[in-house]
Amino acid sequence: MCANVIVAEDDEKQAELVRRYLEHEGHAVTVVGDGLAALDEVRHKDKEPDLLVLDVMMERADGLDVLRVLRAEGRELPVLMLTARTTEDDLLLGLDLGADDYMTKPYSPRELMARVRTLLRRTRRTPDAPPATGATGATGATDEVLSVGALRVDPVRYEVWVDGAYVECTPGEFRILAAMAAEPERVFSRQRLLEELHGFDRYISNRTVDVHIMNLRKKIEPAPRKPTRLLTVFGVGYKLTDPAAKRAPRASA
């Protein structure tokens, strides 16, 4: 698929390397060298770009500030962040601000292209209708669609639906949700969820899992501060449940 990609990177050699790899895969690439230029490029495009590859440490406005402004403006374009910062707080802040994915420097250009393909597959489609539930019942579906009440997770199409509404998830969020949807009511420890994120990035921890859970609740819960689907099991971890099943009245004897 051909996509319009903006690369915001102040290191000219890094920017040229990323540009060459993206163009080799057939994408149209615009390179800018600082944060304010990245904002101008996104705002003045006739059509919103398909992807922003955004370095964190740049002059005039760093990548985190750029991301903060874009999300405050209601722009939902996918953002893949590149960072030389390896502290956990920096990485968690990027996720919390709305980054769809991140990579820490130094990185493999081939892995970067794989991340780009994943993001574009997830975002460049027309979500017209939720996937149908298969004949296997509430906790499983044909064609590999996973169903937990009104929640649908499609690992093949990389789609999530809640109450008939399409939900955008980052790759890390999707991995966690798909694992839990495959085994509803099972309590997943943080360590078990970390295993689902293995290979997603070299810098992951229990706090990374907690941030993903917090962001997922904002997307799939009617009241994120009072979750009914994605529950905390104190001292153990998290589980995914069907709130309607808990509300259903018991059959009389």
Distances (CA, A) of 134 to 28, 142, 145, 220, 249: 39, 4, 7, 21, 25
pLDDT bin (cut points 50, 70, 90) of residue 139 is very low
Three-class DSSP category at 161: strand
Average pLDDT in the 34-57 region?
90
Three-class DSSP category at 241: coil
**Burial code of 185-196, b = ≥16 C-beta within 10 A, e = fewer?**
eeebebebbbeb
**Does the pLDDT at position 157 exceed 70?**
yes
Q: Which amino acid is at 200?
A: F
CB 32 within 8 A of CB 6: yes
**Does the pLDDT at position 79 exceed 70?**
yes
Virtual CA dihedral for 183, 184, 188, 193, nearest 10 degrees?
A: 60
**Does the pLDDT at position 119 exceed 90?**
no
**Does the pLDDT at position 136 exceed 60?**
no
**Does the pLDDT at position 133 exceed 70?**
no
Average pLDDT in the 28-47 region?
91
pLDDT bin (cut points 50, 70, 90) of residue 120 is confident
pLDDT bin (cut points 50, 70, 90) of residue 108 is confident
**Burial code of 155-172, b = ≥16 C-beta within 10 A, e = fewer?**
beebbbbbeeeebebbbb
Three-state SS string over 176-225 comes to: HHHHHHHCCCCCEEHHHHHHHCCCCCCCCCHHHHHHHHHHHHHHHCCCCC
Average pLDDT in the 111-120 region?
86
Task: Give the pLDDT confidence score for residue 85 in this predicted structure.
Answer: 67
CB 200 within 8 A of CB 191: no
Instruction: Count other C-beta atoms under 10 Å from residue 148's C-beta.
Output: 27
**Does the pLDDT at position 182 exceed 70?**
yes
Question: Whole-angstrom Cα distance, residue 88 to residue 14?
Answer: 23
**Does the pLDDT at position 184 exceed 60?**
yes
**Does the pLDDT at position 253 exceed 60?**
no
